[in-house]
Amino acid sequence: MHDIRAIRENPDAFDAALARRGMENASAPILELDEARRARIHAAETAQAEQNQASKQVGAAKAKGDDAEFERLRALVGDKKAEVAKMQTEAKELDRKLTELLSSLPNVPMDDVPDGADEDDNVEIKRWGSPASLDFQPAEHFDIAGVKPGMDFESAAKLSGSRFVVLQGAVARIHRALAQFMIDTHVEENGLLETWTPVLVRDDMMYGTGQLPKFGEDSYQTTNGWWLVPTAEVPLTNLVNGDTIDETTLPRRYAAHTQCFRSEAGSAGKDTAGMLRQHQFEKVEMVSITHPDRSRDELDRMTGCAEGILEKLNLPYRTIVLCTGDMGFGARRTHDIEVWLPGQNTYREISSVSVCGDFQARRMNARFKPADGGKPQFVHTLNGSGLAVGRCLIAVLENGQQADGSVRLPEALHPYLRGKTMLQADGTLA
């Protein structure tokens, strides 16, 4: 959500910022609605004052026995009362339209975000590790011999349809170990607070983080109105919804491992093979609630937390800054981390870390009380994958695959697998 006062005071700056996201003259309809709304409010206040004044004079006219003046004033009071009600109703409707319009507009990018139209204009800022030089043709994860017994797409399709999977045996255990390893690392080394949240949330929680109203079709809603969370960003960020917290409690850093649900309404035909893009998946999510002055530094810190997971797993990756044309709706700056997948011979996204500024906080009305006793201010929010568990499983399987169909597992996972180091070609751990 945008600050109407800031737009009113500097529309040119607002227009210039959203022009970088392909929206021209964004302030014009906003200011038109705002001006009309303020005019109705002013008219209602003026009519109310006139009504109050006439009401005072009614008694005086009655006392003087001036029946004509009494009737005139009484009629005037009635007219002004009706005018006040009419102006207030119109102002309320204009306020609703203004809020709806402001809610539909994406966040403004930071100055250091590269301009661009789409993913081709994203900028790489880091690369870690080197893809292994294999003396055999690497397979995609679902075609590795040792993986096939534990990754069942046919049964999942029978149960639920396309874009689901049933994991069993050793593969299911590796998947679980990855999630546990991620949570432990974030809690014990990165200082995040482990949190368990509901995966069913109300409308206003989805609105608070920007999924509603614009992106409702990308999520699932139950028949009684709850939404299945697309990511734990929704419940974690909304922990401060409607609150005014003490500055001394900032930053608040959370990590949660949850099921996530996405309809993928806008991705028909994309990544349909294997586990890469599923309707139901698991993710370890990181969320930070920070002071405005420290949110940009927090973005770099959170990016490092996600990168550190890949480094511990010895998975090559690159980090990119999304350009203005590829950035998400609520983000001011986004770092995508892409892991190397030998089976596809390319890097694929495994984490997206974004700073949202006060964009979500305004929607949630989440503020903090400055330690010096000043006026409450909106907090800043950040979110990021730390990591997508299924995609991390894909990366572990593909990068560790051997010519005989077995998979060498990362050393960091060995303690979580009771010392097992290999997924054998027959699908068992050894």
Q: Quick one: 58 and 204 in the same domain?
A: no
Q: What is the pLDDT of residues 58-111, one digit of tens each?
A: 878 777 887 788 888 888 988 999 999 999 999 999 999 999 999 999 999 999
Same domain? 180 vs 226: yes
Interval 307-318: pLDDT, tens: 999 999 999 999
Question: Does residue 257 sit in the same domain as residue 338?
Answer: yes
How many helices and strands (H and E) does the chain possess? 11, 18
Residue type present at position 12: D
Catalytic pick among 50, 83, 247, 349: 349
Q: What is the pLDDT of residues 236-295, one digit of tens each?
A: 999 999 999 999 999 999 999 999 999 976 555 567 789 999 999 999 999 999 999 999
**Given 219, 288, 295, 352, the catalytic residue:** 352
Specify whether 78 is located in the same domain as 138.
no
pLDDT score, position 70: 81
Estimate to the nearest angstrom the gap between the alpha carbon of 430 and the chain centroid.
40
Binding residues for L-serine: 231-233, 262, 285, 383, 385
Residue 72: the pLDDT is: 86
Domain span at 74:
4-104
- Determine, yes or no, domain membership for 430: no
Residues 252 and 319 in one domain: yes
> Which residues is 368 bridged to in the sheet?
245, 377
Q: Of 40, 332, 367, 391, which one is the catalytic site residue?
A: 391
349 a catalytic residue:
yes
Q: Are 158 and 165 within 8 A, CB to CB?
A: no
Domain assignment present for 110: no
Task: Report yes or no on 97 lying in a domain.
Answer: yes
- Examine residue 206 and state whether it is found in any structural domain, yes or no: yes
Mean pLDDT by 10 residues, the chain (430 residues): 96 97 96 97 95 85 79 87 95 96 97 97 98 94 98 97 97 98 98 98 97 93 97 98 98 98 72 89 98 98 98 98 97 98 97 98 98 95 98 98 98 98 98
220 and 359 together in one domain = yes
What's the pLDDT score for residue 267?
Answer: 56
Instruction: Give Cα 17 to chain centroid, integer Å.
Output: 20
For 313-350, b/e burial (b = at least 16 CB within 10 A) is bebbbbbbbbbbbbbbbbbbbbbbbbbbbbbbeebeeb
- Let me know if 37 is a catalytic residue: no
CATH number where 142 lies: 3.30.930.10
Do the domain assignments include residue 113?
A: no
Q: Return the CA Rg of the chain.
A: 28
- Told to judge if 253 belongs to the known catalytic residues of this protein, a careful annotator would answer no
Residues 73, 180 share a domain: no
d(CA 353, CA 336): 6
Q: Domain of 92: which CATH number? A: 1.10.287.40
Within-domain flag for 391? yes
Residues 69 and 178 placed together within one structural domain of the fold: no
* 428 assigned to some structural domain: no
Cis upstream peptide for 114 (omega within 30°) = no
Can you tell me the distance from the alpha carbon of 50 to that of 406, in angstroms, rounded to the nearest whole number? 85
Q: Are residues 148 and 232 in the same domain?
A: yes
The catalytic residue among 277, 296, 318, 348 is 277
Summarize the annotated binding site as residue ranges.
Answer: 231-233, 262-264, 285, 349-352, 383, 385
The domain boundary residue, chosen from 73, 104, 135:
104
Are residues 90 and 159 located together in one domain of the fold?
Answer: no
User: Rounded to an integer, what distance in angstroms lies between the CA atom of residue 380 and that of residue 197?
Assistant: 21
Binding-site members for ATP are 262-264, 349-352
Coil, helix or strand at residue 145: coil
Pairwise CA distance, residues 305 & 301, whole Å: 6
* Calculated CA dihedral for residues 380, 386, 390, 396, nearest 10 degrees: 150
pLDDT at residue number 165: 98
Residues 126 and 22 in one domain: no
Query: At which of 60, 79, 104 does a domain end?
Result: 104
Residue 20 lies in a domain: yes
Q: Same domain for 229 and 97?
A: no
Distances in whole angstroms, Cα of residue 178 to Cα of each of 88, 141, 339: 57, 16, 15
Domain count, the chain: 2
Closest CA to 27 of 46, 6, 44: 6
